[in-house]
Chain A
Amino acid sequence: MSTPSVNTSAEIPAGFGEAAFEAFLTTRDEPDWVTQSRRQAFKRYSELLESELDPEEWRRVDLRALRPDRFQLNAGSENSKDSADGKHAETLLKDQAEFAGHVTHVDGQLASNDLAAELAAKGVIFGDLATVVREHSDLIQKHFMTRAVDSETDRFSAWHAAFWTGGTVLYVPRNVVIETPLYSLITLQTEKAADFSHTLIILEEGASATLLEETASTTTENLGLHMGAVELLLAKEARLRYVQLQNWNHKVWHIAHQAGRVDNSGFLQWTVGGIGAKLAHIHQDVVLDGRGAEAEVNGVTFATDKQIHSFYTQQVHNGQGTRSDLLYKQVLRDHSRAIWRGMIRVEPEGQQTNGYQRNDSLMLSSTSRVDAIPGLEIEADDVRCTHGATAGRVDEEQIFYCMSRGMSEYEAMHMIVEGFFQTVFDRIPVEVVRETLNQAIIKKLGFGR
């Protein structure tokens, strides 16, 4: 059953108070259970606004300049249709490879999507959450914010659960293998627009897929807000490669709860690229539930100017014989800041766990700053868990040596930065992602300017 009266052209007031929430609900055409869950989440959001954030996660992240009342949700799809395919956005991945399907969102609304006919015939679903939730309500209800991201975690997850606008859904049935990557583009176009997109990937037993997701702004000047969530649900022996490349302009706030759950012998390879945003904070959980589940998490970030890139990562080992391997490489320049708080948690049932986490930071200027805090919480007695973090400046002698061999300072710097990232690039099997990240780094360094 759907909401009886839907007004997609209604104006939603700026901000995220009660009036904005009620106006937002009138623009939605969705099943009753969604409306009910939104109302519960909004109530929880209002309560959580009155309580302090978890200091372990937030004490190093300054949110005072984040003023929600400045941002506004887009009610209808008029703007998004005008810029179908997000063609105005400066994207890094689009048109760089062949994709089996794509979904594009502009200002939180679907602009376009398609999927190869042979995949649709096999039962694959790839589309916009706002649409799929109507057409496959039972499927979404079973998986949406039930196992991975919890709307009760903090004010941001509740905020997202109340106001999610759309997002990309990928459902791959049992034993269906998708060889060609799929592509999702999320763009912000309007000044002070808010995007609350939700990525939901469900892989049934033995299924396999690759999804490349990119966020981009259409201008360098517009303020924006992304309050997102990502849920990756892998059943037994499923294999997923998921890449999210965050490439907003430097005036966008990017806050996201992201979680993956992997069942028996499943394999999740998750790559996070962080280049843009004014402030980006990602709460990333990888939960290995089943025996022999594996996850490899790669992070590549490059912050310049006054950007802040913050990650709060958790590798949770619930099942026996599970393996996780996390490697984050972060480069900073100017007055930028990187914060990484990582935790490996092994539950009592997680015997024979093999957990690894590492964070390396390279500072290209003395005014940048890194806080890297690895951690272990182990409740099983037969595990192998290791972690480490390094932070340092570029060696002046290396630059001098390169320049003495005829390179310019930019070329030398690029070679050193590329070499720094190489160990994480080597772990990314999708060539277009490696090349795209490398191009983004060159651009960020100002090489060839």
Chain B
Amino acid sequence: MYTPDFEEVASLDEFSSADRLEVFIGDTPVLLIQLDDQVFAIEDVCTHDGQPLTNGCIEEGVIICPRHGARFDIKTGKALCMPATKSIQTFEVEVRDRKVFARSVN
């Protein structure tokens, strides 16, 4: 199976004033989220209404869609409650020399 190469998408220093960063992997908008000293990457699109999750509240490893309240697990992408029924895409993340690299998992 084809696995894409890691792309450098951000630096850890950019998290200094925020807990999340908006980046692109290819043409896909991706949200980088720093959680418990780890960085996770999720597709920044709610699977319910197709709009950004960018400004959603983050509570205990879950991001909440700011429009209709759909909840997604940041680590696995799994949809946890209605109105979303489909998982969001997650990305593999590596941090090397304070630089954040990411690639699509599948």
CA of A60 to CA of B51, assembled, Å: 7
Asked if residues A62 and B27 are in contact (CB atoms below 8 Å), the reply is no
A64 at the interface (CB under 8 A from B): yes
Which of A60, A64, A369 neighbours the largest number of chain B CB atoms within 10 Å of its CB?
A64
Distance between A58 CB and nearest chain B CB, rounded to angstroms: 11
Distance between B4 CB and nearest chain A CB, rounded to angstroms: 16
CA of A367 to CA of B45, assembled, Å: 14
- Per the CB 8 Å criterion, the residue count for chain A at the interface is 9
> B68-102 CB contact bits vs A (8 Å, 1 = yes)?
00000000000000000010000000000000000
Which residues on the A side are within 8 Å of B52 (C-beta)? 62, 64
In the complex, chain A residues 305-354 whose Cβ is within 8 Å of any chain B Cβ: 337
Contacts A337-B50, A369-B50; A62 near B24 (Cβ below 8 A): no
Which residues on the B side are within 8 Å of A62 (C-beta)? 29, 45, 50-52
Complex: chain A residue closest to B86, CB-CB: A367
Asked if residues A278 and B27 are in contact (CB atoms below 8 Å), the reply is yes
In the complex, chain A residues 55-106 whose Cβ is within 8 Å of any chain B Cβ: 59-60, 62, 64-65
CA of A64 to CA of B27, assembled, Å: 9
> A31-49 CB contact bits vs B (8 Å, 1 = yes)?
0000000000000000000
Partner of B27, one of A59, A65, A369: A65
CA of A369 to CA of B28, assembled, Å: 18
Asked if residues A65 and B45 are in contact (CB atoms below 8 Å), the reply is no
Which residues on the A side are within 8 Å of B51 (C-beta)? 59-60, 62
> B29-41 CB contact bits vs A (8 Å, 1 = yes)?
1000000000000
In the complex, chain A residues 265-317 whose Cβ is within 8 Å of any chain B Cβ: 278
Complex: chain B residue closest to A65, CB-CB: B27
Asked if residues A65 and B28 are in contact (CB atoms below 8 Å), the reply is yes
Complex: chain B residue closest to A369, CB-CB: B50
In the complex, chain B residues 1-37 whose Cβ is within 8 Å of any chain A Cβ: 22, 24, 27-29
Q: A62-B50, A62-B52 are in contact. List 6 more A-B contacts (CB 8 A).
A: A59-B51, A60-B49, A64-B29, A65-B28, A65-B29, A369-B50
22 A-B pairs with C-beta separation under 8 A: A59-B51, A60-B49, A60-B50, A60-B51, A62-B29, A62-B45, A62-B50, A62-B51, A62-B52, A64-B22, A64-B24, A64-B29, A64-B44, A64-B52, A65-B24, A65-B27, A65-B28, A65-B29, A278-B27, A337-B50, A367-B86, A369-B50
